[in-house]
Structure 1
């Protein structure tokens, strides 16, 4: 099913003086997996997307506070400059690989507090021509470049009113892209509980898993059948997935697993950790109308190695509807990836600086071709840098 959404809206992230990063720039495809040992910077890179998403949903000071404050985000070295986060993407109407949208968020702090600047450039018209750009310093001014306008405003990029006639639809579209990023880190205890019937869009922590599942059942029966088929490959005794609706003051729905040979269905409250987590991931990956970008933290956590075959195939297939960026430290999962799908991460033991990527896709392909072994085997054996940590 075609949704008209770009398969690879996010082209790259550059992060300077942010957490474990001095200056890293990482490019992404439609399906990318960050792999590396604990502390190598995988989660820090994904948290860049969390931060810019949250600034789009609320405001910059609130988002910074939610993420631990400036000191927590800033790389604590004596000569470090301000935090600078750059997002390059193809979101607005006329964006392309040669003229991507470019958003830069700069954060600094002095005695007066946090200073922030947002810079955004995009191509307002089709064909050849300059991109339109503007900078927002704090909330005091908008400086428009390209058309030499000196208009000023007390807006931020996340303010819906910035969609003025002299800026076009671009900023609004870009903010919508940032705010719609799905950052998935299933909270299994919460996912086990009954869901309110009216909360049917999958929540980031999947606390409404049962209701989101029923939404797919109701709205996309074919997708639901494929979801159950995938789950059967991980749970050979599974027959079907059903639902029980319960009344009362809060109308709720409970998902149930029907297994062969059992008289009674198994509610999610009684299902195993790995089963609930896999079901949550499959619910996101079979969503018929997903956001443009889905980010998955520790995608292999709690899953049996046999389930990783299913998971990799499903993420690869889903990347035709939503760009997938996931983090893993499983050699078993990495072994199932192609060279262009893997981004290896490591950390300098002396400086603490994250190194991402460790090797290019071409270097990974060359190592794989020379050895005839899978990427996971090469990584685990130490042929590639960023060896998985034990435990």
Structure 2
């Protein structure tokens, strides 16, 4: 069951589950409203709370760490994933943000730490400290002077590195550096999404290894995943359960290297009457397709860890509950899903013991957290509708 511990001003958020291949802990300090905030995750959990409580900030931190640690982003850059400037806590004077991530993978516990500084608004941010351990054994450390890492023969090696780049993504693993490779691969496979069907591209011009935050590149991600027959079969079977008249899908050329997705539904009005291109789907259908693509990626092993911000946006109740139950079927020590949601159906299907409540006392106070509290005699859904969910301690 979810639990909360407070020690020395730290806020501990815990979500129930197992601990084999997943993110188990996140520590954040001086990022927006997250001050000395520590979250402990397990195989499944639902974060809820009022607007401005810091729920999405938790996911934004995870995305930033992933993108920096896998060399998808640099500090002060102009690329779509780059971190142009730091988002500090308004009421703190410190110019350094602190992040820590604990990852369980391949039977090992990895600890990754990252400290970022931005002295002034007109100065680009830089990494001032970074380290990784495996089962408490040092893998590497870096400061402003450079990166130091241990070799298999017990010797150490070092190299200089641009302060804007994370060392974890810059080390080329081989031989004795296998543990670093495991950590790199685990972080690189994490999916963090906030589905927005209205921003999804209507055709793809290439393949994408993973979806963007808003899933804008859904069709490009589909092109990559569709090369695996197992994933395709799982998605097709899942959609048949959701849409009884669904028959098949295919990629259709729309130009040079450009493709869209077509879905065929059963129809007694002629063969072409049931053929829908992606742009003809409703916002809810596009969002639902994306959610089931994520589930198929989990089941097929394309990913093991997903963080989804408000998956219930745009999706109707009849389609939402089967997806929640289908996701729950997969989650174990090797599959993890953490959701942000206020939707009664997700909280009701999940069980309130998997929920955690985030809140702030006012706009100049940090995020706090507690277990989801449901008044006696009310269902989770009814409590949500009435606004009677409260994680604050009496």
Same fold at TM > 0.5 = yes
| Residue of structure 1 in register with 2:350 after alignment | 337
Contact conserved, 1:181 with 1:293, CA < 8 A, in 2?
A: yes
TM-score, length basis structure 1: 0.78
Contact conserved, 2:358 with 2:391, CA < 8 A, in 1?
A: yes
Contact conserved, 1:257 with 1:268, CA < 8 A, in 2?
A: no
| Residue of structure 1 in register with 2:134 after alignment | 122
| Residue of structure 2 in register with 1:354 after alignment | 367
Distance 1:326 1:262, change over 3 A: farther
Counterpart secondary structure, 1:77: coil
| Residue of structure 1 in register with 2:320 after alignment | 308
- Alpha-carbon shift at residue 270 of structure 1 (Å): 1.5
Q: Distance in 2 between matches of 1:202 and 1:141?
A: 29
Distance 1:254 1:43, change over 3 A: same
Q: Distance in 2 between matches of 1:280 and 1:10?
A: 22
TM-score, length basis structure 2: 0.77
Distance 1:23 1:240, change over 3 A: same
Q: Distance in 2 between matches of 1:149 and 1:75?
A: 41
Contact conserved, 2:191 with 2:210, CA < 8 A, in 1?
A: no
| Residue of structure 2 in register with 1:61 after alignment | 75
Q: Which moved more, 1:48-57 or 1:378-387?
A: 378-387
- 1:233-263 alpha-carbon deviations (Å, 9 max, x no partner): xxx6x34233363365335242224154554
| Residue of structure 2 in register with 1:126 after alignment | none
Task: Give the alignment partner of residue 209 of structure 1, picking from 205, 219, 222.
Answer: 219
Distance 1:68 1:202, change over 3 A: closer
Distance 1:239 1:133, change over 3 A: closer
| Residue of structure 1 in register with 2:379 after alignment | 374
| Residue of structure 1 in register with 2:96 after alignment | 82
Distance 1:132 1:182, change over 3 A: same
Contact conserved, 2:76 with 2:125, CA < 8 A, in 1?
A: no
| Residue of structure 1 in register with 2:39 after alignment | 26
| Residue of structure 2 in register with 1:170 after alignment | 179
| Residue of structure 2 in register with 1:285 after alignment | 295
2:236 is the counterpart of 1:230: no
Q: Distance in 1 between matches of 2:203 and 2:154?
A: 56
- Alpha-carbon shift at residue 10 of structure 1 (Å): 0.6
| Residue of structure 2 in register with 1:193 after alignment | 202
| Residue of structure 2 in register with 1:153 after alignment | 159
2:261 is the counterpart of 1:254: yes
Counterpart secondary structure, 1:110: coil
Task: Give the alignment partner of residue 141 of structure 2, picking from 122, 135, 150.
Answer: 135
Task: Give the alignment partner of residue 190 of structure 2, picking from 181, 193, 198.
Answer: 181
Contact conserved, 2:231 with 2:296, CA < 8 A, in 1?
A: no
Contact conserved, 2:360 with 2:367, CA < 8 A, in 1?
A: yes
Q: Distance in 1 between matches of 2:174 and 2:220?
A: 41
| Residue of structure 1 in register with 2:7 after alignment | none
Task: Give the alignment partner of residue 13 of structure 1, picking from 5, 26, 36.
Answer: 26
| Residue of structure 1 in register with 2:252 after alignment | 245
Root-mean-square deviation (CA, aligned residues, Å) is: 3.4
Contact conserved, 1:142 with 1:154, CA < 8 A, in 2?
A: no
Contact conserved, 1:293 with 1:323, CA < 8 A, in 2?
A: yes
Q: Distance in 1 between matches of 2:251 and 2:325?
A: 30
Q: Which moved more, 1:100-109 or 1:341-350?
A: 341-350
Contact conserved, 1:31 with 1:315, CA < 8 A, in 2?
A: no
- Alpha-carbon shift at residue 336 of structure 1 (Å): 1.8
Q: Distance in 1 between matches of 2:355 and 2:235?
A: 29
Q: May I ask how many residue pairs the two structures share in their alignment?
A: 355
More helix by share: 1
Query: Is there any run of 5+ residues in structure 1 with no aligned partner, and where?
Result: 1-5, 124-129
Counterpart secondary structure, 1:245: strand
Q: Distance in 1 between matches of 2:199 and 2:93?
A: 43
Distance 1:228 1:151, change over 3 A: closer
| Residue of structure 2 in register with 1:3 after alignment | none
Contact conserved, 2:78 with 2:84, CA < 8 A, in 1?
A: yes
Q: Distance in 2 between matches of 1:144 and 1:244?
A: 48
